[in-house]
Structure 1
Amino acid sequence: MRSFSGRTAVVTGAGSGIGRALAHELARRGAKVAASDVDVAGLEATVTAITELGGTARGWSLNVTEAHAVEAHAAEVVATFGSADLVINNAGVALAARAVEQTTKEVTKVVDVDLLGVVHGTQAFLPYLLASGDGHLVNISSLFGLVAMPYNSAYNAAKFGVRGYTESIAIELAAARAPVGVTCVHPGGVATAIAQNAERPAHNDGLATAFEQALRMPPHRAATIILRGVQRGRRRQLVGADAWALHVGQTLLGARWMDVMGVLGRQVVPRHAA
């Protein structure tokens, strides 16, 4: 997909952060944007900003954990814009907590949004991407979908799942010579509100603070890198120097990565609290 002009681009989690930046950048490049989020106020702000600049966008309130709702959304997007050419499954939440204290409810929410939300979006839109004749699927994983990090076991599980799911689909489509590109995106520290909005026990503020301090890249810069990866047909797109550095470090260290992370993890949480 060399150009986004005139294409219909679907972006979940478009009410803030990377999703909002992607929606804005796609509209700036001439795409018709179907934006969705559970945050209605944030979504309205995204759509309003696009339309005020002369772009084309419509917003949908959508909970990606509800498969039937996502299926209905896909049909409505195509009925509204005539096609679905680029689908970016971006909606996500985080959980910064030690495994021993996180609750099943919190873990389930992270997996439902971050992994099953991607599955629902992919299943609902893939037939339309195939029908477009030149579609592209983008699933947002994370740096934490490439390397394991302490105090993020649920988030790691979901994002590793997104990676495996997306790469499997990429292989299937390539084997079938289907006219759909697939990109799995692994952002490093992007300056979004994901840490503040994380699902976590209230007394884990120290973990959230450490997480927030790593979020530095402006979302618009991340969006530009992601869309460049789509245009170049990259199956895997890392975003940020930190993502590349940690990915290379983990690859070189192998199983010793866990020892190194254990040492660094003790700097965040004292031994007696781990």
Structure 2
Amino acid sequence: MKSFSRKVAAVTGAGSGIGRALSMDLARRGCDLALADVDEGGLAGTVEAARRLGVKVSGTRVDVAEREAVHAWADQAAAEHGGVNLIFNNAGVALGSTIEGGGYEDFEWLFRINFWGVVNGTKAFLPHLKSSGEGHVVNVSSVFALISVPGQGAYNASKSAVRGFTEALRMELELSGAPVSATSVHPGGIKTNVARSARSDESLRSLGVDPEESRKNFEKLFITEPEKAAQTILCAVQKDKRRVLVGPDAYVIDGLARLLPGAYQTVVKKLVMRSMR
């Protein structure tokens, strides 16, 4: 897909962060938009801003964890826009907790959004992408699918699942000769509100970490603007990349995982211990 002009893109989590930046960048490139988010206020702001750029935009409140709602949105978007070419499964949440101390309910909440939200979006939109004759599935994973971090076990697992799901999807699409491709996105620290909206569990104290301080320190690591992330992602789609790293820290982490596939854990553990001191 060399151009986004006169295409139709569906974006989840469009009310803020990477989702909003993707929506605005696509609108500037002449792409019509079907946008979704649970944050109706943020979603309305993105819809209004994108419409001012002269493209057709629809906005729907959708919880990506609700399968029937996602399928209904996909059918509605295709009917309203005359088809859909791209789905950006971007919506996600974060959780700080230990494996042992974290509650099942929090783990399930995170997986319903981070993993099942991607599955729901992919399966709901895939028939429409195939019908368009030129489609692309873009699933946002994380650098935490490349390495793991203590206190982020559930998040690590969910984003690793997104990576495996998307890479398998890409190969299946190629083997079947479908007119659709797929890209797995691995952002580093992007300046979004994901840390402020994250759930944080008291079990982190067993690692010597204060949950509130951990949230603040984590947010300090966000170095890449959402607009830059959107540009990188759309460039990767145009080049039909299988995987894209977003941000300079993503390249550092990817290099660490490649050079020290097992020993990186010692490096990460020492960094955590240093931050505790």
| TM-aligned CA deviation for residue 268 of structure 1 | 3.3
Partner of 2:273: 266
**C-alpha distance in 1, partners of 2:44/2:3?**
26
Contact 2:94 2:195 in 1 (8 A): yes
2:242 corresponds, among 224, 230, 235, to 235
Is the Cα–Cα contact under 8 Å of residues 106 and 200 in structure 1 kept in the other structure? no
The CA distance in 1 between the partners of 2:224 and 2:268, in whole Å, is: 22
State the AA in 2 paired with 1:214.
Answer: L
Q: Which moved more, 1:226-235 or 1:54-63?
A: 54-63
Q: Distance in 1 between matches of 2:10 and 2:274?
A: 41
State the match for 1:10 in structure 2.
Answer: 10
- The whole-number CA distance in structure 2 between the counterparts of 1:169 and 1:215 is 30
Mapping of 1:1-274 within 5 angstroms?
A: 1-201=1-201, 204-269=211-276
Contact 1:207 1:268 in 2 (8 A): no
Q: Which shows bigger deviation, 207-216 or 132-141?
A: 207-216
1:171, distance to aligned residue in structure 2 (A):
0.7
Secondary structure, in 3 states, of the residue corresponding to 2:84?
coil
Which 5+ residue runs of structure 1 have no aligned equivalent?
Answer: none
Aligned-pair distance for 1:201? 2.7
Q: Check whether the contact 2:74–2:125 (CA below 8 A) recurs between aligned residues.
A: yes
Residue 269 of structure 1, CA deviation: 3.9
Consecutive unaligned residues of structure 2, counting only runs of 5 or more, are 203-209
Offset, 1:264:
1.1
SS in 2 for 1:87: strand
- Whole-angstrom CA distance in 2 between matches of 1:231 and 1:52: 25
Shift of 1:46: 0.5
Q: Is the 8 A contact 2:27 2:53 kept in 1?
A: no
Question: How far apart, CA to CA, are the structure 2 residues paired with 1:226 and 1:21?
Answer: 11
- Alignment-mate amino acid for residue 82 of structure 2: G
Shift of 1:99: 2.6
Identity fraction in percent: 43
Q: Secondary structure at the match of 2:20?
A: helix
User: How far off is 1:189 after superposition?
Assistant: 0.7
| Cα distance, 1:95 vs structure 2 | 0.8
- Which residue identity does 1:42 align to in structure 2? G
What CA deviation, in whole Å up to 9, does each residue of 1:209-234 have, x standing for no partner?
12101111110010000000000000
For 1:197, give the aligned amino acid. S
Distance in 2 between residues matched to 1:207 and 1:102, nearest whole Å: 16
Relative to structure 1, the CA distance from residue 269 to residue 106 in structure 2 (aligned partners, 3 Å threshold; closer, same or farther) is farther
Distance in 1 separating the partners of 2:189 and 2:24: 20
Q: CA deviation at 1:261?
A: 1.1
**Secondary structure, in 3 states, of the residue corresponding to 1:58?**
strand
**Runs of 4+ off more than 3 Å:** none
**Per-residue deviation, 1:55:** 3.0
**Larger displacement relative to structure 2 (141-150 or 230-239):** 141-150
Q: Cα offset for 1:103?
A: 1.5
Structure 1 Cα separation of the partners of residues 152 and 238 of structure 2: 32
Is the CA contact 1:102–1:200 (under 8 Å) kept in the aligned structure 2? Answer: no
8 Å CA contact retained: 1:102, 1:201: yes
Aligned to 1:36, the other structure's residue is in SS state strand
* Deviation for aligned residue 1:65: 0.4
Alignment RMSD (CA, Å): 1.2
Read off the aligned partner of 1:106 and give its amino acid letter. Answer: D
Contact 2:138–2:184 under 8 Å retained in 1: yes
